[in-house]
Amino acid sequence: MQRVVSVVAHLGFRLQALPPALCRPLSCAQTKIFGSDRVKLMESLVVGDIAELRPNQGTLSLFTNEAGGILDDLIVTNTSEGHLYVVSNAGCWEKDLALMQDKVRELQNQGRDVGLEVLDNALLALQGPTAAQVLQASVADDLKKLPFMTSAVMEVFGVSGCRVTRCGYTGEDGVEISVPAAGAVHLATALLKNPEVKLAGLAARDSLRLEAGLCLYGNDIDEHTTPVEGSLSWTLGKRRQAAMDFPGAKVIVPQLKGKVQRRRVGLMCEGAPMRAHSPILNMEGTKIGTVTSGCPSPSLKKNVAMGYVPCEYSRPGTMLLVEVRRKQQMAVVSKMPFVPTNYYTLK
């Protein structure tokens, strides 16, 4: 366990506590965008409405290219400290950083006030029904006043300068804690002393995010997938749609009102587990798509998956075939999330 916690501290991995309160390491990258033109910079790269974010409010957004493809998914928070806090995937870190740095230089050459700082922080994620209860004992702030996708800087288990954000990629309530690297081992160790908190592996993370219908970059979305195809149209800010001022807008915005060739859908079956790359067929046996993620659902005791099919096959309730281990089995297109989410919203 100590070896895992050390990886969490030194490589900036996330520690997730999942239902009832389990944890696993997951890589991420953290960046601070500052200057009076910080929103202009970010909105030149992503599809979301960053200008509308209230202080300490965050949003899931997407880096897109001029062809409308998704370069990465990320969370952008408008902090009350006067900068944007950006969390993106470590697997895309080199291209994400180059993308942001190039835009910083471009705007600076235009006389704009903007800058970028890479944060030397770990990110520890505590997820599950008891996550807030576990964390509340270690902080002075009232976590009941911290709803989903908002954050606050506070001291956690004696470590100062931690940014606690009410979010996570499991569909459950929980927080992600950005902690100075020097305090990461102490904080992770303190969390694990609570009997409610357990370390979890990749399978736990993957089954939870899949039950919640959440995409994994590189599997379910990539630079050849548009937000509309990926069923992520909700990430497109209405003002941004009208202005068509984000990369790929000329491709993406028309797709909102017209037809796209394919869409990401949920699939459910009771046969063998569907896995990534499994062919999806119509009832006549013709291949029409591919599974991108799949696993047994511990909550539903059924097998769930996501994949891409032509629009005419995307309606929930549509019966299809999936080829698993060279055998065809019945599957049904299902609404997502497969398991209702449990985000804390103050409502």
DSSP 235: G
Which residues are part of a known binding site?
176
Task: Output phi, psi for 139, to 5 deg.
Answer: -130, 155
Using DSSP bridges, classify how beta strands 279-281 and 287-297 pair: parallel, antiparallel or unpaired. antiparallel
Question: How many CA atoms lie within 13 Å of 145's alpha carbon, on the beta-carbon side?
Answer: 6
Tokens of 282: 């119509």
Strand order in the sheet with 159-165: 121-127, 174-180, 159-165, 151-156
| 263 touches 314 (CB < 8 A) | yes
Please choose, from the candidates 184, 191, 77, the residue with its C-alpha nearest in 3D space to the C-alpha of residue 121.
184
- The span from the first CA to the last CA of the chain, in angstroms, equals 38
| 53 touches 62 (CB < 8 A) | no
| 4 touches 10 (CB < 8 A) | no
The reply to whether omega before 337 is within 30° of 0 (cis) is yes
Which residues are part of a known binding site for substrate?
176
Beta-bridged to residue 165, according to DSSP, are: 151, 176
Question: Three-state SS across 119-167?
Answer: CCEEEEEEECCCHHHHHHCCCCCCHHHCCCCEEEEEEECCEEEEEEECC
Helix and strand numbers, DSSP H then E, in the chain: 8, 19
Burial 12-26 (b: 16+ CB within 10 A, else e): bbbbbbbbebbbbbb
